[in-house]
Amino acid sequence: MTGIEVGIASILLIVLLIYLGLYVPVALGLVSFVGVWILRGNIDMPISLLSLSVADTVADQVFATVPLFALMGLFVSQAGIGKDVYEVANAVFHKIRGGLGVATVAANAVFAAITGSSIASATVFTRIAVPEMKRFHYTGRFSVGVVAGSSVLGMLIPPSAMLIIYAIVAEQSIGHMFMAGIIPGIVLAIAFGILILGLAYFAPNFVGGAQPDDLRGGECQTLTSMDMAGKMFPVIGLIVVVLGGIYGGIVTPVEAGAAGSVVAMMIAFLKRRLNWQSLWKVLVDTGHITAIILTLIIAASMYSRMLGVAALPTTFGEWLQGLDLSFMAVMVLYVIMMVFLGTILDTASIILIVVPLFLPAVEGFGGNLVWFGIVTVIGAEIGLLTPPLGLSCFAIKSTINDPDISLFDIFYGAFPFAVVMLLVLALIIAFPALSLALV
């Protein structure tokens, strides 16, 4: 078999194995190992490739961002900051029609800035926002749809695990990726808010909810300015320490993760939400998350090197340019592929499989790789809301304790948000400055 044939067969086989349920790193590593073995004709080369991939992953300091930001996110969740943020957002927006939905989006946007995980956001706000919205007579489909839709902000607004993975795969600066995600994240959050207001006025039966004048009582309406300031102070402090430190050039992303973890731990202790037993659980969970992500990255490193041996990325880039397509046409094809793969694969898998293939083509067309990373993450994140995989939707279903809300209801409620994400993605592609203005 030629290198091109091995490369193409490897991609198809990896997608098939993952879809059949094989653990993603195992699929990537196994196919890469066998692929190099076939290409080089002896087993010494793939063994050397495996050891080199492991050594590079363990030795590079940039990979320390993975456990540090995971640790910070777990401390934040343990401290109950998500509930505080939602209560403040609820107090601000409850007087407008569809206000609790807008409050959920706003709270998710803030929560994303200190956790960086869509699944964590979906889990937290399913417990907090869905019961509150149902208490004020919002429909079940709308309630879970808002939580599912706004949870994707966790993968775009920094610090984001997916932006870190992309930066490592594409060999880009994590700090630059974080800065590039801010404006698109804000634009997406605003677009979600506009969508909710539009649905509240033009599709009231889908949204439900009490009219603003009918709302009485509830903790969120009794918060004073001092109460809101007290609840938001820890959040603002974390954002200043982490993102302010990175953007101000004071600390590196690794140092920001360490500082954020310490501050988040102190907040959890001061709020009396953390004891020695829960601290141990947080540390163990951090170890599990770190092991999963680093194993993914090791396997992705093997896969990228295997594609390089097969010369598939270079050949693919030359083939795309030889088709005489415009760069915009190539991006349209890329987005279609991302959305399609998002229906069967998780975001990390898509980034690890597709990005190494397209990077040479994007560079050949003169595309900016930081901007391309934002396009990639948004495109892949649409898959969190679409069947059959839809990880955010499944996370909500596994968290919610309501037999009246089916998985179909969650996908149905999330569909308008997936459409808005696609429109925002088109906007980012048409105007790259939206993602590059702060870089």
DSSP string, 105-153: HHHHHHHHHHH--HHHHHHHHHHHHHHHHHHTTB-HHHHHHHHHHHHGG
pLDDT in tens, 171-187: 898 889 989 999 999 99
Alpha carbon of 149 to those of 174, 181, 344, 393: distances in Å? 25, 17, 18, 9
Contact 170, 369 (CB under 8 A): yes
Find, among 153, 150, 109, the residue nearest to 126 by Cα. Answer: 150
pLDDT band per the 50, 70, 90 thresholds, residue 57: low
Q: Is the pLDDT of residue 212 over 70?
A: no
Q: Please give the average per-residue pLDDT across 215-225, as a whole number.
A: 56
When mean pLDDT is compared over 87-101, 242-256, 263-277, 323-337, the highest value belongs to: 263-277
The count of structural domains within the chain is 1
pLDDT in tens, 4-30: 888 888 888 887 887 787 877 888 888
In which region does residue 97 sit, left (phi positive, over 0), alpha (psi from -120 to 50) or beta (all else)? Answer: beta
Q: Is 171 helix (H, G, I), strand (E, B) or coil?
A: coil
- Dig out the tokens for 105 from the structure: 């989006």
- Dig out the tokens for 116 from the structure: 């960086």
pLDDT in tens, 336-371: 888 887 777 777 778 888 888 888 888 888 889 999
Give residue 385's pLDDT. 84
- Kindly state the DSSP code that residue 217 receives in the 8-state scheme: -
pLDDT band per the 50, 70, 90 thresholds, residue 218: very low
Q: Is the pLDDT of residue 132 over 60?
A: yes
Q: Is 208 helix (H, G, I), strand (E, B) or coil?
A: strand
User: Residues with Cβ < 8 Å from 1, sequence gap 6 or more?
Assistant: 9, 38
* Chain position carrying tokens 């190992």: 33
Give residue 5's pLDDT. 82
Q: Is the pLDDT of residue 142 over 80?
A: yes
Cα 46 to the chain's mean position, in Å? 32
- Dig out the tokens for 436 from the structure: 């590059």
Q: Is the pLDDT of residue 416 over 90?
A: yes
Q: What are phi and psi of 36, to 5 degrees?
A: -65, -35
Q: Please give the average per-residue pLDDT across 55-69, as a whole number.
A: 75
Give residue 210's pLDDT. 62
Q: Please give the average per-residue pLDDT across 198-227, as a whole number.
A: 71
Q: Which amino acid is at 233?
A: F
User: Residues with Cβ < 8 Å from 150, sequence gap 6 or more?
Assistant: 104, 105, 108, 109, 121, 125, 189, 192, 417
User: Residues with Cβ < 8 Å from 301, sequence gap 6 or more?
Assistant: 53, 56, 57
Give residue 219's pLDDT. 44
Claim: this prediction has a pTM higher than 0.85? no
Give residue 109's pLDDT. 86
Q: Is the pLDDT of residue 215 over 60?
A: no
Q: Please give the average per-residue pLDDT across 271-288, as a whole number.
A: 89
Cβ-count burial of 304 within 10 angstroms (0-12 exposed, 13-18 middle, 19+ buried)? Answer: buried
- Domain containing residue 355: 3-436
Give residue 45's pLDDT. 79
Find, among 61, 56, 78, 118, the residue nearest to 258 by Cα. Answer: 61
Average pLDDT over the chain, rounded to an integer:
83
Q: Please give the average per-residue pLDDT across 274-291, as a whole number.
A: 88
* Chain position carrying tokens 């010369």: 311
C-alpha span between 165 and 198 (Å, rounded): 35
